Chains A and B, each alone.
Chain A
Amino acid sequence: MSQLATFYERMFFIRRFEETLLDLFSLGKLVGTTHTYIGQEANAVGLIDHLDPDVDTIFSNHRCHGHYLAFTDDAFGLMCEVMGKAPGVCGGKGGSQHLCKGNFYSNGVLGSIVPVATGIALAEKRKRTGAVSTVFLGDGTLGEGVTYESLNIASLWQLPVLFVVENNHYAQSTPVELELAGSIAARGAAFGVEVDELDTTDVEEIHGAAGRAIARIRETGAPFFLVLDTYRFSPHSKSDDQRDPAEIEERRTRDPLLVLGARLSDDERRAIAARCEERLAETIEAADAAPAATPGVAA
């Protein structure tokens, strides 16, 4: 399969996984909350293709499913975790936004994850593993000051951290214009960190820029600040969306699946869609059949 088809399949699967979660919530099959990645798939797929899950690390945030699936490909573990099933990747203890598997971590307090990713980079640098520590921020995260303490430390100590800001223009319901002053890119530059900024939903462009950023980190050992302009089509969590429908429709013309899909044949797209639907159905069936997480009983 071509690289483009592989990217499309990964993105399509994330899209359908997330849409399915929202459906399951509507059906009352899921409780709690979730924050879907619908619309942002090209970021995770384009960037994480450059990471080695056996060496590199990711610290993600509440909107972590796309990152998790792109890095681990563990749909069953994630589905069970969100469903509160015993074989969930954290035994049902973490749920949607508190995941851990191998070198992947996520947590639900935004700025809080940034220093932890910085500490991971410090540890890996000391151990000389060559690992890059990637941390996913959003425009909302930039409101928490600990982010800047961590940028300062990562630059000062020349730590191999990739700071990825996925600017989806909303902090929950608050538009970026009401929560952020100044320039996002300048925030990285102010600390002497190399910056790149993209406004695209084209996974090939994101793949190229992320590849250059990660290669720079591997070459210099220094941090990098990558700003990705993006948009989520889904609500912040489940049904909390008061955005102008016209704005969402306009952004849908740049849907990353449409942009990439146009470069594939109809047959390729159909085959990929069929495979993803089949895998998703199997995943849900298996997760449905799995035992519920039970206090005091190990999975």
Chain B
Amino acid sequence: MSTTAQSKRGAQALNEALHAIFSERDDVVLFGEDVLDPYGGAFKVTQGLSDAYPDRVLTTPISEASLFGVAAGMALRGQRPILEIMFGDFVALGLDQVVNGISKFREMYDDQVTVPLVVRAPMGGRRGYGPTHSQSLEKLLLGIPNIVVVAASECHDVGALLTAAVDDERPVFFIENKLLYGRAIRRPDDGHVGELAVRESGDPYPALTFSATDFTEGAATIVTYGGMLPIALDAVTELVLEHEIFCEVVALSQLVPMELDAVLESVARTRALVTAEEGTLTGGFGAEIAARVQEASWSDLGAPIQRVAARDGIIPSARPLEDAMLPSVQDVVDAVMSLEGTR
């Protein structure tokens, strides 16, 4: 798949967006572990920010449980905090604040307050970091009412997504797959990413729908997000080249609240759905989507919904073991191929 004219890397796109946000709004404060220059954050996303805005970038103790609450308190009082969590795995330390405070304040206080905070959380494996630094824990957030979960992918305008998250009155959990940082952003150019036609729908956190046939036919819809998008796109290419099977891919950026218009539209054309996520299988993104799509579009489905996800286990450190654990291009191809025998 060729890249478009823009070849900025994900970390740089996010970094530029942060600089723009800081210059636009002086109520924005960013804090997290090791975010100061010259270090600039574990993944370098905050580089240059503390030099430019020394009073608005705070390096913190290793106190995630408290930091989620500090962000909540700031947001309650009209500031726009951005909390950088070094590894998304550590969101687990802050879940009490998310479940019992951040997500509840607005509704339980009868709309007297808002909690406009952003938590940036790098998720995902394939870097050999092992069981506690590689997970995709989005599903822990999927079932929490009154929050927004946004996942950037390399084909989204990641800077626009982050800017929208900061402008949002709701608490936003902004998921950055770690591989995104080093990969080139591939925005649609003249309605295409490489050979695939692309439609963008939804605002301010759009879904991207990719088609190998300019939306005229398709054997299945693959719905995914974040770091699984390049894997799904590679699977689509392989399915075309090796099997002459044409699929659509829908890449959501808004995971919560779940809005599936783009998925339902695509399924109406393809009559089959495969979900693809990097997190573990049980109780995840695919499970929720499968439930909703069969409720909304049972008559459009010509085959059982297939889920592709990580195995229900740990993410081992050794590369061959990690590869065996996490969902691969071949897993997506196999899931689409398995549909052929069921209809």
Name A residues whose Cβ lies closer than 8 Å to a Cβ of B: 57, 59, 89-91, 93-94, 98, 100-101, 105, 107-109, 112-124, 126-127, 133, 145-146, 149-150, 152-153, 156-157, 299
Q: A112-B100, A114-B69, A119-B73 are in contact. Are A94 and B61 (CB under 8 A)?
A: no
Q: A116 contacts B73, CB within 8 Å?
A: yes
Q: B73 contacts A121, CB within 8 Å?
A: yes
Q: A150 contacts B107, CB within 8 Å?
A: no
Sorted nearest first, the 10 A-B pairs with minimum C-beta distance are: A119-B73, A115-B69, A149-B66, A123-B77, A100-B109, A119-B70, A149-B63, A91-B110, A115-B66, A120-B73
Is B330 part of the binding interface, using a Cβ–Cβ cutoff of 8 Å? Answer: no
Is B144 part of the binding interface, using a Cβ–Cβ cutoff of 8 Å? Answer: no
Q: How far is the CA of A196 from the CA of B266 in the complex (A)?
A: 66
Q: B97 contacts A112, CB within 8 Å?
A: yes
Q: Which residue of A lies closest to B55 (CB)?
A: A126
Q: A115 contacts B61, CB within 8 Å?
A: no
Residue in contact with A123 in the complex, picked from B69, B79, B96, CB distance below 8 Å? B79
Q: List 25 A-B contacts (CB under 8 A).
A: A91-B110, A93-B107, A98-B108, A100-B105, A105-B105, A107-B101, A112-B97, A112-B100, A115-B65, A115-B66, A115-B69, A116-B69, A116-B76, A117-B73, A122-B74, A122-B79, A123-B73, A123-B77, A124-B77, A127-B77, A133-B73, A149-B66, A152-B63, A153-B70, A157-B58
Is B6 part of the binding interface, using a Cβ–Cβ cutoff of 8 Å? Answer: no
- Provide the residues of chain A in CB contact with B263, threshold 8 Å: none
Q: A90 contacts B70, CB within 8 Å?
A: no
Count class of interface residues, chain B:
20 to 34
Min CB distance, A285 to chain B, in Å?
23
Q: B interface, by DSSP: helix, strand, loop or mixed?
A: helix
Q: B107 contacts A146, CB within 8 Å?
A: no
What 1/0 mask marks residues of chain B from 88 to 119 whose CB sits below 8 Å from any chain A CB? 00000000110011001101111011000000
Min CB distance, A116 to chain B, in Å?
4
- Provide the residues of chain B in CB contact with A112, threshold 8 Å: 69, 96-97, 100-101
Q: A123 contacts B74, CB within 8 Å?
A: yes
Q: How far is the CA of A275 from the CA of B97 in the complex (A)?
A: 42
- Provide the residues of chain A in CB contact with B29, threshold 8 Å: 126
Q: Which residue of B lies closest to A151 (CB)?
A: B66
Min CB distance, A145 to chain B, in Å?
7
Q: A98-B108, A115-B66 are in contact. Are A120 and B58 (CB under 8 A)?
A: no
Is B60 part of the binding interface, using a Cβ–Cβ cutoff of 8 Å? Answer: yes
Q: Which residue of B lies closest to A299 (CB)?
A: B110
Min CB distance, B177 to chain A, in Å?
28
Q: B108 contacts A146, CB within 8 Å?
A: no
Min CB distance, B123 to chain A, in Å?
23
Q: How far is the CA of A119 from the CA of B81 in the complex (A)?
A: 10
Q: How far is the CA of A94 from the CA of B74 in the complex (A)?
A: 21
Min CB distance, B179 to chain A, in Å?
31
Min CB distance, B194 to chain A, in Å?
45
Q: How far is the CA of A122 from the CA of B73 in the complex (A)?
A: 8
